[in-house]
Chains A and B, each alone.
Chain A
Amino acid sequence: MKRSTVATTGSDGRSRTSDQNLAIIQIRNCLLVSIQTELHDQLALDLQESLMERVRSADARGVILDVSAVEVIDSYITRILNDIGKSVRFMGAECYIVGIRPAVAMTLIEMGVELDSVNTALNLDLALERLELFQ
């Protein structure tokens, strides 16, 4: 599967391509995605689609999305995360969001936005530990 097209730099060092894909890493029977960039419409849809495919081809039990580099999560991104969680759950795997920052969590609570279609864990290690229970 060809993932991760890298942005090319023009001679003036100024060109900006937004069509980066997110790399999906497999650890045992678990898929890991580290979200480091802005999750926009197309990227999120692509991610959802390729994750579903990979869950199937890799017989994955779990999907972990690391958002520790994401400094702001608004209601739109919450919806994307929930959608991914739902679709992964439909396929019989568990989805974990790890590394939500304290300020982000506080903000989500104040906004009254729910992350109810995914599991959460403090960090990658704990998510892996919990997923191990399902093996």
Chain B
Amino acid sequence: MRTVEDAVGAVLSGAISAITQRSIFNRLGGLARTPVGQLGPVERQTVLKELESSLRLFARGSSAELLAACERALTEGTGGSSGGSGATAGTPGSSSPSAGGATPAKGIHKTFAVEQEKDIATARLEAWSEAVRIGLSKFTAVKVATAVSELARNIVFYAGKGTVELRATEDDRGPSLHIVARDKGPGIEPRKLEEIWAGTYKSQRGMGKGLLAVKKLVTDFHLDTGAGKGTTVTCVFRGDR
């Protein structure tokens, strides 16, 4: 599948050095690896905004022309030629025949595997763009990204691998984003848990305050942990409306 990186890279080659391109794509994180066909409108806007500031700095020719070419490259694949099968609710015309709720655009459900440090950054960026997309405030989006960062880091540090799941819902009180971080690691001992909630726990690698920090950031928080069953953290960010 043609990713954002492929599409934009083809336009930029010749105008921008490979090294600069690399740093631009690194800044885009997970978005760079997203297939063009699955790019939502807000995500596309995010990519273009990032490109705009980079091109202004680095492009040898006219940055406006290059940007327009990038925009074309990113809109092309979405028409239907490359067929994003069952893609997210990006294009309003092609509503996929999924279990139709009242607000299909909000019914996004994504799961990411978290195993290495770079996955933490990916999960964080995805959570951020998801939060912005469903209409949470800019500040809340940073909180969402920070919470996901803490949870993903806990998975990498203490469990080795696991998943982070993002689910957006909407009710009459406004949009909310549900985050589920799940691993099959060693679980947290009851004694350690007491220390964690008291704020006295000190870990070797971090501050030992990650879980407590997440609990303070979110609207709803639920922890399920124990030896042998791993750890599952469920939390909700609610939009203030």
Contacts and interface: CB of A to CB of B under 8 A. Distances in A.
Interface of A: 6-7, 9, 13-14, 16, 18, 37-38, 40-41, 71-76, 78-79, 101-104, 106-107, 110-113
Contacts of A7: 19, 22, 26
B117 A78 contact: no
Contacts of B141: 103
Interface in B120-147: 120-121, 124, 128, 138-139, 141-143, 145-146
Interface residues of B, number: 35
B167 interface: no
Contacts, number: 92
Task: Classify the secondary structure of A's interface with B.
Answer: loop
Interface of B: 5-6, 9, 18-19, 21-22, 26, 117-118, 120-121, 124, 128, 138-139, 141-143, 145-146, 149-150, 153, 199, 205-207, 209-210, 212-214, 216-217
A112 B209 contact: yes
A9 B207 contact: no
B149 A72 contact: yes
Contacts of A103: 138-139, 141-143
A107 B146 contact: yes
Given A76-B210, A110-B216, A9 B139 contact: no
26 contacts: A7-B26, A9-B19, A9-B21, A13-B5, A13-B18, A71-B128, A71-B142, A72-B145, A74-B146, A74-B153, A75-B207, A75-B210, A76-B149, A76-B206, A78-B207, A79-B207, A102-B139, A103-B141, A103-B143, A106-B142, A107-B146, A110-B143, A110-B216, A111-B209, A112-B199, A112-B209
